[in-house]
Amino acid sequence: MARLTRRHFTMGAAAAGVTTFSIGGARAAEFTYKFANNLALTHPLNKRAQEAAEKIKDETKGRFELQIFPSSQLGSDTDTLGQIRNGAVDFFTLSGLILSTLVPTAAISGVGFAFENYDSVWKAMDGALGNFIREEIAKSRQIFAFDKIWDNGFRQTTTSTKPITSPADFDGMKLRVPPAPLWTSMFKAFGAAPTTINFNETYSALQSKVVDGQENPLAIIDTAKLYEVQSFCSTTNHMWDGFWFLANRRNWDALPKDIQDIVAKHINAAGLAERNDVAALEKTLREQLISKGMKFNDVNATAFRDKLRAAGFYTEWKQKFGDQAWSTLEASVGKLS
């Protein structure tokens, strides 16, 4: 009953445009913004976002509250992309590849074997390539991306059937890939049979054997407990993937400048901290996942890259992305096609 009364009071007060007070006496935030993501609470992305939320609340003296919805609680990535565009969600972390269904060139950072290591990733994504993609995202007018892209990691291949030791092991393999044309194209080029499935349905698709494998960084294989339904992990390192921290343009513009500055400062700093966390995890998780029963093997990346080249993957995507985008990528990472 108390809850009902309070809810009515809050709604009435909000409708009347006056500041609301909760029953405990703590003042409700003036701005409550929703941040959606597809990762478990235990992933560094959510830990760092939580820390940022606390710092933002402190520094805005409670005026701004960042509400975090992990684990696709507000819907799949495909659904949430719709919600960040129309403003039902205020912030969303999304892979550039999935974002490419709205901003085609955002997928370019996911070209197979483009980045050799983290040094080349951050040089490109904090430099010319990242700037180019952020400008393309901003052109959508509905959304924009914060300065610092967050890390997902270098993607590895897991299966329940057999290890991937050479490209031939991909032949006809039923693999889950995220919903993005570049992913489907790449795994077809490897010879596999990719199926697009949103991340929030991936565990159950693996468990019920709708697909035999998937590919994700170790931090996700661990925090999403994919080791429970996958036996082999082959360190294919076929792609680096990151999460753009996206904001709905209209809702962002509705914030006072001083609050915008505080939010952006803490979000970007949290992104940098998250990058370090993920890099550290990539060094230690292999042993942990082995102790949880996964069998690891390393591969010769050259054979996989040659397979993509022979299948015409680079030629096709160079043409799709266009000369400007492709030369921006090659200026950062060297010649690809």
Structure tokens at 142: 């509905």
Q: Minimum distance between the CB of residue 219 and ligand X2X, rounded to whole angstroms?
A: 10
Where do the H-state alpha helices sit in the chain?
Answer: 2-15, 44-59, 77-86, 96-99, 118-125, 128-138, 181-189, 202-207, 218-223, 249-253, 257-291, 301-310, 313-321, 323-333
Name the burial class of residue 92, with classes exposed (0-12), middle (13-18) and buried (19+) by CB atoms within 10 angstroms of its CB: buried
Q: Hey, which residues between 46 and 75 contact ligand X2X (CB under 6 A)?
A: none
Residue closer to ligand X2X, measured from CB, 178 or 194: 178
The number of CA neighbours under 13 Å toward the Cβ of 254 is 12
C-alpha–C-alpha distance, residues 87 and 110, integer Å: 27
- Nearest residue to 206 (alpha-carbon basis) of 179, 175, 235: 175
Residue closer to ligand X2X, measured from CB, 38 or 248: 38
Residue closer to ligand X2X, measured from CB, 202 or 248: 202
Q: Minimum distance between the CB of residue 180 and ligand X2X, rounded to whole angstroms?
A: 8
Name the burial class of residue 274, with classes exposed (0-12), middle (13-18) and buried (19+) by CB atoms within 10 angstroms of its CB: buried
In 10 A of CB 183, how many CB atoms? 25
| Residue 113 contacts residue 317 (beta carbons within 8 Å) | no
| Residue 193 contacts residue 129 (beta carbons within 8 Å) | no
- Please pick, from the candidates 95, 105, 223, 237, the single residue that binds ligand X2X as defined by CB under 6 A: 95
- Please pick, from the candidates 34, 35, 38, 314, the single residue that binds ligand X2X as defined by CB under 6 A: 38
Q: Minimum distance between the CB of residue 143 and ligand X2X, rounded to whole angstroms?
A: 16
Residue closer to ligand X2X, measured from CB, 97 or 259: 97
SS3 63: coil
Q: Hey, which residues between 113 and 152 contact ligand X2X (CB under 6 A)?
A: 152
Residue closer to ligand X2X, measured from CB, 167 or 178: 178
Residue closer to ligand X2X, measured from CB, 64 or 113: 113
Binding mask 192-231 for ligand X2X (x = CB under 6 A): -------x----------------x---x-----------
Q: Minimum distance between the CB of residue 94 and ligand X2X, rounded to whole angstroms?
A: 7
Residue closer to ligand X2X, measured from CB, 55 or 148: 148
Bridge partner residues of 95 (DSSP)? 243
- Nearest residue to 211 (alpha-carbon basis) of 153, 155, 158, 165: 158
Q: Minimum distance between the CB of residue 283 and ligand X2X, rounded to whole angstroms?
A: 19
Residue with the CB atom nearest ligand X2X in the bound state: 199
Where do the H-state alpha helices sit in 228-300?
Answer: 249-253, 257-291
Q: Hey, which residues between 145 and 184 contact ligand X2X (CB under 6 A)?
A: 152, 178
- Say how many residues touch ligand X2X, by CB under 6 A: 9
Residue closer to ligand X2X, measured from CB, 122 or 199: 199
Binding residues (CB under 6 A) for ligand X2X: these are 38, 95, 98, 152, 178, 199, 216, 220, 241
